[in-house]
Amino acid sequence: MELLHNLGIGFAHIFQAADFLMLLVGILVGMAVSIMPGLGFVMGVVLALPFTYKMQIEPAIILLTAIYFSGTYGGAFTTILYKIPGEPNDVPLLWDGYTMARTEGPAKPLGWALIAALVGGLVSSVVMVLLAEPLTAVALKFTAEDYFAAIFFGLTTVVSLAGKSLINAVISLCLGLLVASIGVDSTYGASRFTFGIPMLGDGVQLVAILVGMYGLGEVFKRVGQGLVLDTSHVSKKTVKTHFPSFKEVWKIKGTILRSSVIGTLLGVVPGAGATITSFICYGTERQYGPRRAKLGTGIPEGIVAPQIGSTASVAGHMIPMLLLGIPGSAATAVILAAFLLHGVQPGPMLLTNPASHDVVYTIFASMFASIIGMCIFGFFWIGLVVKVLTIPQSILNTIVVLFCLVGAYANRNSLQDVWMIVIFGVMGYLFEKLDFPIAPLVLGAILGPIGESSFMRSMIVSHNDWTVFFRQPLSGVLMVAAFFSILYPVAKQNIAFLRKKKSNRKAL
């Protein structure tokens, strides 16, 4: 009953005028940016961040959460209608969604994708709300060693899952940690890597990193690609959304259950984003599904599995961010930055602190409201989708750049922040061109100060004894898991290389 009471408080906040307006704006913005290939919901959250500076924390977090949750479905439109994934996690949806659209019309796959997004979002959100209090009780027992081990495990997991090249991911993480160390040392008060430049005295602003890497960097990449969509074959009159019947949904209940469980569980793992989750859910269906032989021919299971997986992982990403202060994805890293900008530190004290207790349940309520609103808007969305996709890329890119630069200046009314965003925008573009993952750098910059603080406290208490991280069961397990997460992909690559070399020798 207490849980329902707390959720009631959260919904009461949402239905206040300002908060409800932010919810509606967030849903619309999230779906709008996610239908544009190359933008996506991460870009939407990043661009909205500067507009939350002057807000109260509740409407600010509601806005970002609504963009995050509603954006997971918008990419299905361009994937199914135009064979162009809006996000990388939409690629598995392409294989059956676009095929079904061409054989049976686009109404059915759009309906299946919408139902899958609804189920995945609701299931994972319910699980998150039910587990929040028990997991908080566990997190409250964390020591400084446990915190450092958890952050270390999160960073190594992100590195191991970030891309094809482990070396590139490690370099990206090291650069992020280096950026995090710029400014005044929190333990001894000494200046580090400022080089006498006043603007570096306070460190590098998180907004500059996030908006630069994900905002301007993405625009630079889009300009280089010169993407143009052929929308001549799609119109509002020819495209609608058709919901499947309950009987049709019940036939694939196994797929729904499998993908919901996988998506929610993988969402808790830092670095295992919606892309990895959607591919794993599709792969699981290909391996264990009763109609696995027909996957790729346009069957509902091929649409539902990846869509549920990617949507379910969204709520899962919120768990480590809220309870441990460790973002599970790029979007939750931006939401974490919003918390910090408003003077609230996510972690186990978030639910137990009366000052922030209502904020957490307002977030929970906004998750449910965003999912339901996403489905309502999604049903009537197709007309706007067709219009938005006809906007010239030059105009769209100009709008994004304008938002980035204005948001940078609004942070501290300083042109220095604008220059910092431009610098990180160039870095983001170079990272994409050179195949360096951005996520390790961003998470390193965000988690670096928290990890450093926990590490220094552990060293001071233990008199610089490194074994302190292996004495307690939890920190010891996390440290071992962290090393394993790095060593496993290395061993896997070496084994694959040796097998290929051996097969080449036999061929000769």
Q: What tens digit of pLDDT does each residue of 119-164 get?
A: 888 888 888 888 777 776 776 677 788 878 878 887 887 787 666 7
Q: Are 409 and 418 in contact (CB under 8 A)?
A: yes
pLDDT at residue 270, as a whole number:
62
Q: Are 97 and 76 in contact (CB under 8 A)?
A: yes
Determine what percent of the chain falls in helix, strand and coil, rounding each to the nearest 5. 75, 0, 20
Point out the least confidently predicted range of 146-160, 228-242, 300-314.
228-242
Taking the C-alpha atoms of residue 264 and residue 121, their distance in angstroms, rounded to an integer, is 9
pLDDT at residue 232, as a whole number:
47
Point out the least confidently predicted range of 46-60, 394-408, 421-435.
394-408
pLDDT at 180 over 80: yes
Residue 230's pLDDT band (cuts 50, 70, 90):
very low
The backbone torsions φ and ψ at residue 96, rounded to the nearest 5 degrees and listed phi first, read -110, -30
Point out the least confidently predicted range of 10-14, 217-221, 365-369.
217-221
Q: Is 111 exposed, middle or buried (0-12, 13-18, 19+ CB in 10 A)?
A: buried
Beta bridge partners of 191: 184
Taking the C-alpha atoms of residue 390 and residue 383, their distance in angstroms, rounded to an integer, is 12
> What are the tens digits of pLDDT across the range 71-97?
877 777 777 776 766 666 777 887 888
Q: Are 315 and 367 in contact (CB under 8 A)?
A: yes
Residue 390's pLDDT band (cuts 50, 70, 90):
low
pLDDT at 234 over 60: no
Point out the least confidently predicted range of 312-316, 386-390, 415-419.
386-390
Q: Which residues contact 428 (CB under 8 A, 6 or more apart)?
A: 212, 213, 214, 216, 217, 218, 220, 221, 438
Q: What is the length of the chain?
A: 508
Q: How far is CA 173 from the centre of its chain?
A: 17
Q: How far is CA 169 from the centre of its chain?
A: 17
Across 61-84, b (16+ Cβ under 10 Å) vs e yields bbbbbbbbbbbbbbbbbbbbbbeb
**Average pLDDT of the chain, as a whole number:** 78
Q: What is the mean pLDDT of residues 482-498?
A: 78
Taking the C-alpha atoms of residue 319 and residue 348, their distance in angstroms, rounded to an integer, is 11
Residue 175's pLDDT band (cuts 50, 70, 90):
very high
pTM of the model: 0.69
> What are the tens digits of pLDDT across the range 361-386?
888 888 888 888 888 887 776 656 65
Q: State how far the alpha carbon of 178 is from the alpha carbons of 171, 174, 454, 500, in Å.
A: 10, 6, 17, 37
pLDDT at 273 over 80: no
Residue 272's pLDDT band (cuts 50, 70, 90):
low
Count of alpha carbons within 13 angstroms of residue 375, beta-carbon side: 20
